[in-house]
Structure 1
Amino acid sequence: MPAATREERLILWIAIIASFVAFLDGTVVNVALPAIVDDLGGGLTTQQWTVDAYLLTLGAFILVAGSISDSFGRIRVLRWGLVGFAVTSLLIAAAPTAPILIVARLLQGIAGALLVPSSLALITSTFRGAAQARAIGTWTGITSAAMVVGPLIGGLLVDLATWRLAFFINVVPIGAALWLLTRLSTRDVRTPDARVDFVGAALCVVGLGGIVLALIEQPNLGWTSPLVWACGLVGAIAFAAFVWRQTRTAAPMLPLSLFSVRNFAWGNLATWLIYGALSLNGFAIAVYLQEHAGVTATAAGLATVPVTIILMLGSSAVGTWAGRLGPRLFMTLGPLTMALGAALMMLVQAEFNYWWQLLPGVMVFGVGLTLTVSPLTSAILGSIEPARAGVASATNNAVSRVAGLIAIAGIAAIVGGELDLAGFHRAMAATALAMAAGGLVSWIGIRNAPATTADAHSPV
């Protein structure tokens, strides 16, 4: 079979670098959370909002971004996202107070919403069949390097200088991606009848924001507080109105018809469980190790690097295997393996020893994640026709981000109000249960696509 063309390779690298920026930011934030609180104050609530402010607008606007991507062109929207992400990263680095930082994180989430869906849409509209699975595997493996670079550089900057410098590292990959975009000769792909539902976006933001505010403030104020129950009620009503609107508008930002496709519907349910558990796990490890186990920001960031190394080394191969054998087996065994890894992390004790208490679980968790990510993405996006790749990618990304949003918002209830040793154990138990549920859902719902006799594109 002929090798991938120059244009195909260029598209893949643009998608990889653009997504790298968003993933890099996520790893830096977790490592920097204790230092941010030491500088700006606010305790666990500030830590939750620092993560959730970004996830709130990301989860809401990522759906609009899918429509914008289809309407205005994926390449153009990608460029907008890169520039916006650079500007908001600088605002975060300069924030003098926690509220200003949180506002900047809200704006950064909007910019981030323009990146990952457009990146994956470029891949899914360029590659099909086994070549698509291979491309997504390559994308997964290389973008996972952000989870190595982020904790290492971010932790060193926090320990040796200031957490503020950690947010400047986004500028380097952003510059590289913008330069590669100038080398691309492919014309932008647009959907003529695509429309942007800004009313739906507003309902989604209010709905998610109200629910998250209630979950974060409930441990501090109690359910009887007017602020808590009123925000929760308004959020629930607004989100219900958002879902209702999607059944009535001519151009929904979340086409519910997508969920009539079996692998798309069940795959997104698995995504909700798996990515919610991933967010909970990463937050709990980064904060507990620094605040209670007494390790440095760099050491806390490096604690889960083995997961990323395994993911980087294995994702491309797993993507190829899933392209040949189908995703169902991998999507079942992967989350179950991660459940075992999370359970092993409960070996952590007050007298902390990384090598015997945390590393075994981290290694097992990494194997499970590697078995899961590429097949999960391929199963979901490969089940939707290329013409709707943008909105399908946006929907799946929104599900994963909102799952993380809710998991972090509810962490105080999960851990019992404080991320001490007992709270850490409860967080790992919750992670294990959610992962096991994700594996069961995948086995029940996912079906392997019929084998084809030829692929439109060769492996990348």
Structure 2
Amino acid sequence: MTMSPTGPVSTADDHGPHYKWIALSNTTLGMLIATINSSIVLIALPDIFRGIHLNPLEPQNTSYLLWMMMGFLVVTAVLVVSFGRLGDMFGRARMYNMGFLIFTISSILLAVTWFDGSSAAIWLIFWRVVQGIGGAFLMANSSAILTDAFPTEQRGLALGINGVAAIAGSFLGLLVGGVLAPIHWHLIFLVSVPFGVLGTVWAYLKLKDTGVRKHAEMDWWGNVTFAVGLVAVLVGITYGIQPYGDSAMGWTSPMVLSCLIGGSLVLAAFVVIETKVAEPLFNLHLFANRSFTFGNLANLTGSIGRGGLQFILIIWLQGIWLPQHGYTFEKTPLWSAIYMVPITVGFLLTAPISGALSDRLGTKWFTTTGMVLTAGTFAGLVALPVDFSYPVFAVILLLNGIGMGLFSSPNRAEVMNSLPADARGSGSGMMTTFQNTAMVLSIGLFFSLMISGLATHLPDTMQSGLVENGVSAGEASQIAQLPAVAVLFAAFLGYNPIEMLLGDQLNGLPDASRETLTGLDFFPHLISSPFADGLLAAFTFAIVCCVIGAVASLFTNSRKPRTPSAGCPAAPDDQRNSESAGATLAAVAAESGESPAELVDADRRSVS
């Protein structure tokens, strides 16, 4: 036990030489199941809605579909900063453990859903939100726990492994959901329960609070304005991709505009409040640190650029490419997850290695190269024909995963190493908030760009295609004017879109026309050209975001990590040497963002 300016501190070494690996393994498990559950529902939505006997494409049910997709992300984006601040105040391990418990209980209650229809949808959405609360506790405090537990020269490796779990989980969730959902949709929630129980018991028994704890008053006005403002903005984005009146999207809806404008004004008030209170939720002074500012900017723009990638690839594979290659629409969810595995492989190969190497070589060139490579892969996807050759597609996805791996771990280490010891929970929460908010924003923007591309050309293409195959001009015109989002969601869910759109009208058509319209070739060929227009717009936007992220990465300090023994002076012989040593230590502390007590403790750990 040592003393710091903020109070007594327990160090990692107080709990044995292996404590840091216990912390790494448990937080990695926590991040893995949290991020698996953020995406597992996406691929399982058709089976979930069939299981609760609800058609998600009916207008009155679209909101259920959107909140099943987005609710988890919205909640985690809103709460991680507050939960990180609670970790700084009351103990990061304590808050993390509580998150594991909440996550596990909500997983059990999701798995035992027994309702049908809209009641079941509301039950699932509610407990998904609660599950998101647990996930926010895990995400907000895991990086801070690792930063406390590991010495500076090993943090890149530790945060890299943890980051692998965080991002790989989002892709593994697609695969796990695709395998389990066709067996029984309850399994996608049940699969988390044993891991949740194990992780919760393990965390309560083994994890200890080892970092500086900052006792402070809760910034209630900051918490309220931040939550209200961010929720309003994210809800506006979520409903902006729904049709409104005669418009293909809802961006002109009074409700959406009220959410976006009102939420932005509340967030502006939040920023003002944070400059006035003694103990702010968002420590704006952290942005005076160049690495923290530009590292978060790179993370934000990179997340916006690649956040909607999963959705676009799912629609591309499920709605066009897989049916064209003989896969029935019912089987496309699983196979789309399988065909996206190269991204996960690329990320798993590079994220831990880049994290470890950045501990020795610095982070700047890893993060910059990663963003440039990711931008290049988006350019490669734009250059591909809609009916691509899979080996070429797989190589591009592999390179995309490699680029994400090169960026993610060093970026996280750069930001976390820039934080003072008593702000690691809130700083980690701020970083995760930027990332999760960017994901929701990216999904809204990517869907909007895709819908704009589809809405421009799809109606005429669809009307002529339906008329050519026996549908009356009046019925074809009516169907062609349906919102493009319905076509996107049908493809995303693995339904046969034309069968869903025509419904009973198919019964009046000749057998040959019916087989053509509902076959595996008609819809993919119908949508290919309009989809390519939307794809160009979405991925061009992604390229711009990644280039901005690469430029921001160049402005981080990214100095080679300090060798602990080099930063601490030898024992002084007299008072003069003592004062000189203290000044040197203070200077090193100011440069590194760590407290003098922490630097001394880092040396003690290094020597031992």
**TM-score, length-scaled by structure 2:** 0.69
What is the correspondence of 1:207-356 to structure 2 with a 5 Å cutoff?
207-219=229-241, 220-221=243-244, 222-293=250-321, 294=323, 296-347=332-383, 349-351=385-387, 353-356=389-392
Q: Shift of residue 121 of structure 1?
A: 0.8
CA gap 1:33/1:261 in 2 versus in 1, 3 angstroms = farther
Aligned pair 1:168/2:190, yes or no? yes
The residue type paired with residue 6 of structure 1 is: H
- Counterpart residue number, 2:84: 66
Q: Distance in 1 between matches of 2:129 and 2:309?
A: 23
Which has the larger displacement, 372-381 or 433-442? 433-442
1:185–1:14 CA distance, 2 compared to 1 (3 A): closer
**Change over 3 Å in CA distance of 1:449–1:47 after alignment to 2:** farther
Aligned equivalents of 1:41 and 1:429: distance in 2? 34
- Would the aligned equivalents of 2:346 and 2:399 in 1 still touch at CA under 8 Å? no
Distance 1:366 1:416, change over 3 A: same
Q: Provide the C-alpha distance between the structure 2 equivalents of 1:199 and 1:108, rounded to a whole number of angstroms.
A: 25
Q: For residue 139 of structure 1, what is the aligned residue in structure 2? A: 162
Superposed CA offset, 1:205-260 (max 9, x none):
32122223333333512444322222222212222222222222222111111111
1:426 partner letter: A
After TM superposition, give the deviation of residue 322 of structure 1 in Å: 1.0
Alignment of 1:24-35 (within 5 A): 24-35=36-47
Question: Aligned AA for 2:26?
Answer: I
The match for 2:145 is 122
Identity of counterpart residues, as a percentage?
25
- Counterpart-to-counterpart distance in 2, 1:258 and 1:46: 39
Q: Aligned with 2:181: secondary structure?
A: helix
- In 2 relative to 1, CA 183–215 (structure 1 residues): closer, same or farther, beyond 3 Å? closer
The SS at the match of 1:161 is coil
- Partner of 1:432 in structure 2? 543
Q: Distance in 2 between matches of 1:113 and 1:238?
A: 22
Q: 1:211 to 1:354 in 2, by over 3 A?
A: same
The answer (yes or no) to whether the contact 2:289–2:418 under 8 Å persists in 1 is yes
Deviation at 1:410, TM superposition (A): 3.0
Distance 1:172 1:197, change over 3 A: farther
Moved more, 217-226 or 164-173: 217-226
1:43-54 correspondence to structure 2 within 5 Å? 43=57, 46-54=64-72
Is 2:108 the partner of 1:86? no
CA contact (8 A) 1:66 1:253 kept: no
Q: Which amino acid aligns with 1:409?
A: G
Superposition deviation, residue 139 in structure 1: 2.3
1:446 aligned onto 2:556: yes
User: What residue number does 1:113 align with?
Assistant: 136
For the residue of structure 2 that corresponds to 1:410, the secondary structure is helix
In 1, distance between residues paired with 2:232 and 2:140? 25
Aligned equivalent of 1:155: 178
Contact 1:157 1:166 in 2 (8 A): yes
The 1:187/1:213 distance shift into structure 2, 3 A limit, reads closer
Segment of structure 1 superposing worse, 228-237 or 416-425: 416-425
Equivalent residue in structure 2 for 1:362, among 397, 407, 413: 397
Deviation at 1:450, TM superposition (A): 4.8
Q: Contact 1:59/1:401 (CA < 8 Å) preserved in 2? A: yes
Q: Quick one: distance in 2 between partners of 1:327 and 1:288?
A: 34
Contact 1:311/1:370 (CA < 8 Å) preserved in 2?
yes
Aligned length: 453
How many Å separate the matches in 1 of 2:418 and 2:214?
A: 22
The structure number with the bigger radius of gyration is 2
8 Å Cα contact 1:338-1:369 kept in structure 2 = yes
Using the alignment, how far apart are the partners of 2:71 and 2:411 within structure 1? 26
Shift of residue 304 of structure 1?
A: 2.4
2:374 aligned partner, one-letter code:
M
The structure-2 alpha-carbon separation of the partners of 1:144 and 1:241, relative to structure 1 and needing over 3 Å to count, comes to closer
- Structure 2: 5+ residue stretches without partners: 1-12, 245-249, 453-484, 489-526, 566-601
Q: Does 1:181 align with 2:216?
A: no
Worse overlay, 181-190 or 329-338 = 181-190
C-alpha distance in structure 2 between counterparts of 1:226 and 1:147, whole Å: 34
Structure 1 contact 341–363 (Cα < 8 Å) conserved: no
Q: Do the aligned residues in 2 keep the contact of 1:307 with 1:366 (CA within 8 Å)?
A: yes
- 1:188 to partner: Cα distance: 5.6
Q: Counterpart of 2:21 in structure 1: which amino acid? A: R
> Which position in structure 2 is the counterpart of 1:373?
408
Q: TM-score, normalised by structure 1?
A: 0.90
Q: How far apart, CA to CA, are the structure 1 residues paired with 2:172 and 2:55? A: 27
SS in structure 1 of the partner of residue 549 of structure 2: helix
Distance in 1, matches of 2:123 and 2:223, equals 23
Against the structure 1 CA distance between its residues 286 and 172, is the aligned structure 2 distance closer, same or farther, given a 3 Å change threshold?
farther
* Larger mean Cα displacement after TM superposition, 202-211 or 138-147: 138-147
Give the C-alpha shift of residue 90 in structure 1: 3.8
- Checking the alignment, whether the CA contact within 8 Å between 1:148 and 1:302 is kept in structure 2 is no
Measured after TM superposition, the shift of residue 266 of structure 1 is 0.6
1:350-390, Cα deviation, whole Å (9 max, x unpaired): 5455333x212201101101111111001101111222111
- Once residues 227 and 537 of structure 2 are traced to their aligned partners in structure 1, the CA distance between those partners, rounded to angstroms, is 30
Rounded Cα–Cα distance in structure 2 between residues aligned with 1:192 and 1:442: 30
Q: Deviations over 1:14-54 (max 9, x none)?
A: 11111112111123133234545666444476554333322
1:387 corresponds in structure 2 to 422
Say whether the 8 Å CA contact 1:147–1:308 is kept in structure 2.
no
Q: Which moved more, 1:256-265 or 1:195-204?
A: 195-204
Match of residue 409, structure 1, among 444, 452, 468: 444
Moved more, 402-411 or 47-56: 47-56
What amino acid maps onto 1:32 in structure 2?
Answer: A
Provide the C-alpha distance between the structure 1 equivalents of 2:252 and 2:551, rounded to a whole number of angstroms: 37
SS in structure 2 at match of 1:114: helix
Q: Which has the higher contact order (CA 8 A, sep 6+)?
A: 1
The residue number in structure 1 matching 2:215 is 193
Are the counterparts in 1 of residues 94 and 209 from structure 2 also a CA contact under 8 Å?
no
Provide the residue aligned with 2:513 in structure 1: none
Shift of 1:397: 0.6
CA contact under 8 A between 1:85 and 1:111: conserved in structure 2?
A: yes
- Structure 1 residue identity aligned to 2:99: G
Asked if the contact 2:109/2:127 (under 8 Å) is kept, the reply is yes
RMSD of aligned residue pairs (Cα, Å): 2.6
Q: Secondary structure at the match of 2:240?
A: helix
**AA paired with 1:29?**
V
